[in-house]
């Protein structure tokens, strides 16, 4: 009797074990579980740091929002500043996946030092240089760059030509007009083009030279003159991915998006011209 009970118990344990194994195999082969394990069904999250010229702040924030609507798993972080400062930061190893410069000089520097991901450099945008004054009734009555030498202009601002592309273009315009040296005593050099804009908005200076796109976003300044194209080098904004990026494919995809119709429409809204 005891032997019968023992064999019955062994038989029950064996059947239970086989049932559990069978269910486990069935579960592992279900389509739902296969989808969970498949690397192709799980989009990889990525984070991109974009170092961009200060003049691009508003436009890039709008473009970034549009991009993330289509790529919700990609987080965009911006670092805005003068192109020269940003290029220097990148050369010193600061985190950056993408660089957008307000001139070719600083992108060329990174290119020569082999810091760009091959095949990712592209000309993105173009801009104009304009002369602005405060949008006030008592603003200086000037209408061209030559009038910056007049006695009613006490203080005048441009970006530092050594690190700020807008300042470099401004220097070219003023040098071409043969008045740069005459203005030095009343020139206030700013850390970036947005600081020039702020100085004029607040009335800290009587006039300043900024990009057309900077003047467009402020109702506190008015444009009194636009520099002719032949008075300065072409204003081109190149973009490129940084070679040491941890997300090269995401960086390439973002740069490709910058050339899309949706992005170019946003850039145009903020006054930028599209580079060929």
The answer on whether 260 is annotated among ligand-binding residues is no
Instruction: Tell the CATH superfamily of the 129-231 domain.
Output: Periplasmic binding protein-like II (3.40.190.10)
Give the pLDDT confidence score for residue 2 in this predicted structure.
Answer: 43
The answer on whether 130 is annotated among ligand-binding residues is no
Residue 41's pLDDT band, with cuts at 50, 70 and 90, is very low
The answer on whether 199 is annotated among ligand-binding residues is no
Order of all β-strands in the sheet with 221-226: 187-190, 156-159, 207-211, 129-134, 221-226
Residue 23's pLDDT band, with cuts at 50, 70 and 90, is very low
User: Residues 49-81: pLDDT tens digits?
Assistant: 999 999 999 999 999 999 999 999 999 999 999
> From 3.40.50.300, 3.30.360.10, 3.10.105.10, 3.40.190.10, which CATH number describes the 46-125+237-274 domain?
3.40.190.10
The answer on whether 193 is annotated among ligand-binding residues is yes
User: According to CATH, where is 3.40.190.10 located in the chain?
Assistant: 46-125+237-274, 129-231
112 pLDDT higher than 70: yes
Order of all β-strands in the sheet with 46-53: 74-81, 46-53, 98-100, 236-241, 122-126, 273-274
SS (H, E, C) the chain: CHHHHHHHHHHHHHHHHHHHHHHHHHHHCCHHHHHHHCCCCCCCCEEEEEEEEHHHHHHHHHHHHHHHHHCCCEEEEEEEECHHHHHHHHHCCCCCCEEECCCHHHHHHHHHCCCECCCCCEEEEECCEEEEEECCCCCCCCCCHHHHHCCCCCCEEEECCCCCHHHHHHHHHHHHCCCHHHHHHHEEEECCHHHHHHHHHHCCCCEEEEEHHHHHCCCCEEEEEECCHHHCCCCEEEEEEECCCCCHHHHHHHHHHHCCHHHHHHHHHCCCEECC
User: Residues 198-254: pLDDT tens digits?
Assistant: 999 999 999 999 999 999 999 999 999 999 999 999 999 999 999 999 999 999 999
d(Cα 252, Cα 233) in Å, to the nearest integer?
28
Give the pLDDT confidence score for residue 219 in this predicted structure.
Answer: 97
Average pLDDT of 80-85? 97
The answer on whether 185 is annotated among ligand-binding residues is no
The lowest-confidence range among 9-18, 92-101, 112-121, 172-181 is 9-18
Give the pLDDT confidence score for residue 161 in this predicted structure.
Answer: 97
Q: Is the pTM of this model over 0.85?
A: no
Question: How much of the chain, in percent, has pLDDT values that exceed 90?
Answer: 83
37 pLDDT higher than 80: no
Average pLDDT of 258-269? 97
42 pLDDT higher than 70: no
Average pLDDT of 150-166? 97
């Amino acid at each position: 009797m005891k032997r019968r009970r023992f064999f019955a118990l062994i038989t029950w344990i064996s059947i239970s074990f086989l049932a559990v194994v069978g269910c486990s195999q069935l579960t592992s082969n279900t389509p739902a579980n296969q989808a969970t394990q498949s690397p192709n069904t799980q989009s990889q999250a990525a984070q991109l740091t974009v170092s961009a010229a200060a003049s691009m702040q508003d436009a890039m924030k709008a473009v970034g929002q549009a991009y993330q609507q289509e790529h919700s798993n990609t987080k965009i972080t911006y670092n805005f500043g003068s192109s020269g400062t940003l290029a220097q930061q990148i050369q010193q190893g600061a985190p950056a996946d993408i660089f957008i410069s307000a001139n070719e000089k600083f992108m060329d520097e990174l290119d020569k030092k082999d810091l760009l991901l091959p095949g990712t450099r592209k000309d993105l945008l173009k801009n104009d240089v304009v002369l602005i004054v405060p949008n006030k009734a008592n603003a200086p009555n000037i209408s061209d760059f030559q009038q910056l030498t007049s006695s009613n202009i006490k203080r005048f601002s441009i970006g530092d030509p050594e690190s700020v592309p807008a300042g470099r273009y401004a220097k070219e315009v003023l040098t071409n007009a043969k008045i740069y040296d005459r203005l030095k005593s009343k020139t206030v050099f700013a850390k970036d083009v947005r600081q020039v804009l702020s100085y004029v908005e607040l009335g800290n200076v009587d006039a300043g030279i900024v990009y057309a796109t900077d003047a467009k976003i402020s109702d506190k300044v008015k444009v009194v003159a636009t520099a002719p194209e032949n008075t300065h080098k072409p204003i081109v904004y190149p973009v490129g991915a940084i070679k040491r990026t941890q997300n090269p494919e995401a960086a390439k995809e973002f740069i490709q998006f910058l050339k899309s119709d949706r992005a170019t429409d946003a850039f145009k809204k903020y006054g930028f011209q599209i580079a060929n």
